[in-house]
Amino acid sequence: MVQAGVTNFDLLVDGNKNQDLITRLVGSIGTGPLEGKVGSAPALAPGAGGDAYATEYRKRLSEDPFVFTPHSFDALALLALAIEKAGKYEGPAIRDNIRSVANPEGTVYTVGQLGQALADIKAGKDVNYEGASGSVDLDAAGEPVGPVGTWKIVAGKIVDDPVPYSCAAGNPPTCTPP
């Protein structure tokens, strides 16, 4: 972007929330053009799932979770739970069972409880997975809607705002400030 002459970064997007990228930009253009610029990105949900995920991620990888890693984790968790519920690994069976493990009506399980959730599904119990990215309840279109965080650049470092916006399903989704 800098080589293309783009140095006015007024609003940053989720893909820009990468400290390595910001560090390289600062090395090229200094902190001035980036100072105080803000961005938005999916956020870790405050609470048990997000906290457990972030703690385990930092412990294993010695860095903070990158944008969308909690969402990828949750997608795989829902896939595993839906396969167990379906009793087979086939697209239509997974599709027909994914809402039943994502939405309310069952015992709530979160990030560190996937083994127990799988065992309980096998035992015929209903589960409601609440993930690292927040509630993964699926709307009518099959989309989860989660928290959105804002962040800014201060002295060449990414600084998260403390409380993410809460968003609800819809077209477009509606988000409520903290």
Q: Convert the pLDDT of each residue in 89-102 to its tens digit.
A: 999 999 999 999 99
Predicted local distance difference test score (pLDDT) of residue 44: 73
Q: How confident is residue 38, by pLDDT bands cut at 50, 70 and 90?
A: confident
Which pTM value belongs to this model? Answer: 0.74
Cβ(31)–Cβ(5) below 8 Å: no
How many CA within 13 A on the CB side of residue 16? 21
Predicted local distance difference test score (pLDDT) of residue 47: 76
Predicted local distance difference test score (pLDDT) of residue 173: 59
Higher pLDDT, 113 or 147: 113
Q: In this predicted structure, which of 53-57, 65-69, 97-101, 150-154 has the lowest mean pLDDT?
A: 65-69
pLDDT of 147 higher than 50: yes
Q: Name the DSSP letter for residue 65.
A: P
Residue carrying structure tokens 């140095």: 7
- How is 11-54 classified by DSSP, letter by letter? EE-GGG--HHHHHHHHHHH-STTTTT-EEEEE-PPSSHHHHHHH
Predicted local distance difference test score (pLDDT) of residue 8: 54
